[in-house]
């Protein structure tokens, strides 16, 4: 008997960092792989591609020459990130994940994705920045934990003890 209840969505934010890869792997291992054909969530993976101008952080006469090259690089990075995410999903037998690249600031892109997919959980990796770097760059996970209209899970990569 088929059920008519819609599965809840889980949005996972990814970038080109090892923390992000670890987070996606962890989510797949804990919420998808154990449930094989019937995971508890619909998986939505979102990569926020920065705009070329925000990545370069410059404007003025020289910017117009540089931006197309920067944008091409950002597109290549986005394609790599998406490809890696799809491979990870397939390696864990997750075949129906939605994978999106959305241009913009990761904070807004992820909060918008939560709204779009009516997600009940947003999962992001933690870069493990120190207080100063976090204050300067602004933490995506911190922003999302305050602004996303769902529960936010921050997946931390275990620190290696020396």
Q: Report yes or no on 146 lying in a domain.
A: yes
Q: What is the DSSP string of 149-162?
A: SSEEEEEPPPPPP-
CA separation for the pair 97, 83 (Å, rounded): 12
CATH number at residue 72: 3.40.50.620
Segment 8-19 mean pLDDT = 95
User: Chain-wide mean pLDDT for the chain?
Assistant: 88
pLDDT for 111 equals: 98
pLDDT for 2 equals: 47
Question: Which of 22-36, 44-58, 127-141 bottoms out in mean pLDDT, i.e. has the lowest?
Answer: 127-141
pLDDT for 162 equals: 66
Segment 97-117 mean pLDDT = 96
pLDDT confidence tier of residue 149, bands split at 50, 70 and 90: very high
CA separation for the pair 111, 90 (Å, rounded): 26
Q: Which domain holds residue 25?
A: 9-52+67-155
Strands 151-155 and 119-125 turn out to be parallel
> Which pTM value belongs to this model?
0.88
Q: Report yes or no on 58 lying in a domain.
A: no
Q: Residue 1 pLDDT > 50, yes or no?
A: no
C-alpha radius of gyration, the chain, whole number: 17
**What's the pLDDT tens digit per position in 65-106?**
888 899 999 999 999 999 999 999 999 999 999 999 999 999
CA separation for the pair 20, 28 (Å, rounded): 12
pLDDT confidence tier of residue 16, bands split at 50, 70 and 90: very high
Tokens matching residue 37: 């054909």
For residue 130, give Cα distances in angstroms to 35, 79, 136, 161. Answer: 36, 29, 10, 18
Q: Residue 59 pLDDT > 80, yes or no?
A: no
Q: Report yes or no on 24 lying in a domain.
A: yes
Q: Report yes or no on 27 lying in a domain.
A: yes
What ranges make up the beta strands (E) of 36-150?
Answer: 41-49, 98-103, 119-125
- Number of compact structural domains in the chain: 1
118: left (phi over 0), alpha (psi -120 to 50) or beta: left
Question: Which residue, among 124, 120, 122, has the nearest Cα to 155 in the 3D structure?
Answer: 124
């Amino acid at each position: 008997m088929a059920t008519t209840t819609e599965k809840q969505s889980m949005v996972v934010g990814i970038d080109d960092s090892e923390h992000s890869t670890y987070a996606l792997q962890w989510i797949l291992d804990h919420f998808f792989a154990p449930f094989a054909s019937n995971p508890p969530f619909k998986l939505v993976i979102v990569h926020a591609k920065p705009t070329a101008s925000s990545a370069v952080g410059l404007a003025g006469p020289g910017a117009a020459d540089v931006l197309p090259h920067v944008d091409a690089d950002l597109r290549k990075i986005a394609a790599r990130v998406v490809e890696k995410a799809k491979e990870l999903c397939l390696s864990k037998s997750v075949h129906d994940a939605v994978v999106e690249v959305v241009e913009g600031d990761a904070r807004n892109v992820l909060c918008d994705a939560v709204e779009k997919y009516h997600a009940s959980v947003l999962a992001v990796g933690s870069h493990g920045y120190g207080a100063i770097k976090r204050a300067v760059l602004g933490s995506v996970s911190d922003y999302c934990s305050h602004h996303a209209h769902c529960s936010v899970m921050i997946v931390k990569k275990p620190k290696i003890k020396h």
